[in-house]
Structure 1
Amino acid sequence: MGHRALVAYRRPDRLYDLRYSHWGGENAAFGRQITPETPLASGSVTADLLADSVARDRILTDFLNPCIHEALYLVDPDANYDVTAYRVCWLEWGDGRNGGRGAIVAVESDAADRRVRTWFRATKTALGDLIEMGALSRRAAQAYLESRVCADEDGTVYTYVGDDPESDVTAYTPTPDRWLEDDWWQDVTDNWETSETDDDWETGNDTDDPP
């Protein structure tokens, strides 16, 4: 399965060349393997480019799928291969077919990376339980999760659209509300059996005899 990461190398023109690492997202220590002597982390980063001449903003919206990638590394070869590591957070719940909303959080050390991963996993799990219990809508839970990532971890929130030409990053719509009671009520009404007809509910059609 791997722990996928996107590795972006800054060019002299301030654009980025993007490469892929299958295990680079496991922990932030991977960034230390990228050096002037081992720019591809001794083969852990693929030599083939995913894309070249990519603007920094487009790295997130067009290439960093938060449902797939676990980490992002920005590499500056002109600064002795200085590496900035980011933990990727997926801000949605579901089967993962749509990447949707994500966030990146800068992690300066292995300890910071573990803390962010643990905090985010616990917070998202608790919110997911509230959604399933019907105590909180999916829309409200997602808005709360985004606000916590930004306020507590100084995260950068973004909308991944990939290479879909029909997508508009400025027109992001949160996942619609979905309440547990909606599913329960649908099951009840689908299986509702009654001997009464619509006519039985009309005025004057009361079949009960008066006392």
Structure 2
Amino acid sequence: MKGIKVFAITLALILLLAACGTSEETSSTETEQETEEATSGSEETSTDSEEGSTEEEEATEDEGTEEVTIGERVSSDNQPFSIEVMEGYTLTAEEPNRDVLFFDENDSVFMRIETFAKEEADRTALVDTLKQTVQASDSTATLMEISTPAKLPNVDMPIGYEIAVENGKVTGYVFETEAHMVRVIIYDVSDVMKTGDYLEMLSTLQSN
């Protein structure tokens, strides 16, 4: 009888230890699964964050390199150049090798553009002719050389002259492109004053 009791107690202890071991293994397995799921979720979140950051950086770079325009680029059918023309202005041929960019609301306001092949042009002669033409608008007015960068087009080697005339201003420039010398004269009217617009457009001129 005593042997049976000992056997029963031993069997109960074995079953109890087995149950505890199973519980610990189950708990350990669940803990490992939870840890793996948490790690996987963290990795996915990190990956999503990195992808989102990359997309934002690419979008920012694209925005930074986006070309800014001030108007429609128009090619002259009379001379080898193109220029961005703002709304409200029209580019037209005046005569061979001479174009005019008119302000649509007042054709007394315009910019005359002439181009010359570099190998055939003399810069000094072009500047002298420019000064004479600007001065001819009013022989009694004082011709002033332009020294303020903001009053010059953003182009290569610009030089400019201006005079105040009755009811307006006349401004002239000589500058260079890769293949041409360019001579420009702007005729502006006091109650309109579009010289600033013309300078912006002139800064976009490109030789063809």
Instruction: Confirm or deny a common fold (TM above 0.5).
Output: no
- What TM bracket, shorter-length normalisation? under 0.3
**TM-score under structure 2 length normalisation:** 0.23
Larger Rg: 2
**TM-score under structure 1 length normalisation:** 0.23
Higher helix share: 2
